[in-house]
Amino acid sequence: MLDPAFTLRIPDGDGRPRKICDHCDYVAYENPKIVVGSVVRHGGKILLCRRAIDPRKGFWTIPAGYMELNETPEEGARREAFEEATAVLKIERLLAVYSVPRISQVQLIFRATLETPNILAGVESLEVRMFSPDEIPWDELAFPSVHWALRHDFEAEAGASPAPFGNPADATGDRMPDGRLLPTDEF
Amino acid sequence: MLDPAFTLRIPDGDGRPRKICDHCDYVAYENPKIVVGSVVRHGGKILLCRRAIDPRKGFWTIPAGYMELNETPEEGARREAFEEATAVLKIERLLAVYSVPRISQVQLIFRATLETPNILAGVESLEVRMFSPDEIPWDELAFPSVHWALRHDFEAEAGASPAPFGNPADATGDRMPDGRLLPTDEF
């Protein structure tokens, strides 16, 4: 078995350097990745999951993850909520489209409700819990975009325009709201 | 030089089969791809580009293409319009989020205007042209989502909600509006 080995080269007919295999000339195109997730409400409370895996193990997040092949964004958001919290969602609408260009991520975040009140931690969660708005553990959230999504969901709940939110002004997703820079491997 | 050779196998710690290299065990993860594009207006007319490349060479499309690494969706939409039509865009807002799950594509389509009236065919376009609404070549559009975006832009122009449009009801993007099925390789 060979070791994987790639060199950055510009393929014929392309304009940018791509990862090309030294052994077989396979072009490993890298594309931005789509994260799908939801702010999930039930009985005035919001579902959060405490992460059982790195990055940001032990911190709280909304149910979200990488979109898979051959699903719609809504299907992906429902799948992630089921995997992480055994939660069965009814998707209401698109809440936000965020982007974190440094790590080439686009996030599609929906507003959703629980079809049934049953939640249970999946293998990627240490614990899952419904938080009332004044209980949200703001200092223990996993990622900047979890802050953004919760803030934006409160604005939506208060009657903001149905246009989806984007990144807060000047926010690129590299720092937590307190200004702390996240190490690259924490994404 | 070896020939590229992949087998579908489930990597350790994963739950789904992935393309794994027979020579070096490299896992070629495949993710949904993001298309970014714009319906571009200037002086009451809409910019369309006649495709110089397959799929759908010779048909008309809005400026759009695959999002690249390390850009925001808006930057990607501006880049594509410049590459295809030398058009400099001012992005107004998100018009639509479409998905074509069969080919694992998510499309983020913006409303935009021209910063300057100058347009010129780029290497991927045979010709570029501003069409008044009654001149749109509906029967010569490249993809179902080009139809959708133009129809939705007319609705937005007529005052529809700022919530982004999604796929028309039951439309998965596999067929043109006249019911014709697009061959897989036409995407």
Q: Do A164 and B163 touch (CB under 8 A)?
A: yes
**pLDDT tens across A3-49, in order?**
999 999 999 888 888 999 999 999 998 899 999 999 999 999 999 99
A159: left (phi over 0), alpha (psi -120 to 50) or beta: left
Q: If you measure CA to CA, which chain B residue comes closest to A67?
A: B32
Instruction: Using the predicted structure, report yes or no on whether residue B12 has a pLDDT greater than 90.
Output: no
**pLDDT tens across A73-109, in order?**
999 999 999 999 999 999 999 999 999 999 999 999 9
Give all strands (DSSP E) within chain B, no chain letters.
6-9, 18-21, 27-28, 33-42, 45-51, 60-61, 64-66, 89-100, 105-114, 125-131
Asked if residue A73 lies in contact with residue A34, where contact means CB atoms within 8 angstroms, the answer is: yes
User: What's the Cα-to-Cα distance from B61 to each of A39, B126, B148, rounded to whole Å?
Assistant: 35, 11, 11
Chain B residues whose CB is inside 8 A of the A83 CB are: none
Q: How far apart are CA B170 and CA B163, in angstroms?
A: 19
**pLDDT tens across A138-154, in order?**
999 999 999 999 999 99
Mean of per-residue pLDDT scores for chain B: 92
Tokens 């529809």 map to which residue? B160
CB-CB: which of A3, A25, A71 is closest to B24? A3
Instruction: Using the predicted structure, report yes or no on whether residue A158 has a pLDDT greater than 70.
Output: yes
> What is this structure's pTM?
0.91
Q: Do A4 and B26 touch (CB under 8 A)?
A: yes
DSSP for A89-112 reads: EEEEEEEEEEEEGGGTEEEEEEEE
Q: How far apart are CA A128 and CA A48, in angstroms?
A: 6
Predicted-complex ipTM score: 0.89
Quick one: tokens of B11?
A: 């990597």
β-pair partners for A48 = A129
Instruction: Using the predicted structure, report yes or no on whether residue B32 has a pLDDT greater than 80.
Output: yes
